[in-house]
Amino acid sequence: MIVVVAYDIVDDRRREDVAMALSGYGPRVQLSVFECDVPTTAELHRLRARLRELIDPLEDQVRMYPTDTTTYNQRYIIGARTVEERSHYWIIR
């Protein structure tokens, strides 16, 4: 199933950790939104548990919207802008 995950994370480090965890499941489609391909309900439970570990529930929020094939295929995308992932790189002198 595709799960749309949107988040609002106050702390930069926690935000990066959440983004890293979600990037293993699918593409970032907005700055704080991922479309995650979660193969099983058990994996969805593991993902939710992992996200709970990564955030501060008093400061942050994560929203997860499971979709089925029908609703996901009916999504509308307006505009062509894509989000580029930040690349980490080394500067060697």
| CATH C-level class of 2-73 | alpha beta
Least confident interval from 38-47, 72-81, 84-93: 84-93
pLDDT for 24 equals 93
Residue list for the binding site: 8
Give 85's pLDDT tier (boundaries 50, 70, 90). low
Inform me whether the pLDDT recorded for 29 exceeds 80: yes
pLDDT for 52 equals 97
Q: Give the start-to-end residue ranges of the domains of the chain.
A: 2-73
The 3-class SS string of the chain reads CEEEEEEECCCHHHHHHHHHHHHCCCCEEECCEEEEECCCHHHHHHHHHHHHHHCCCCCCEEEEEEECHHHHHCCCCCCCCCCCCCCCCCCCC
How far apart are the C-alpha atoms of 35 and 86, rounded to whole Å?
A: 17
Q: With a threshold of 0.85, does the pTM exceed it?
A: no
Residue list for the binding site for Mg(2+): 8
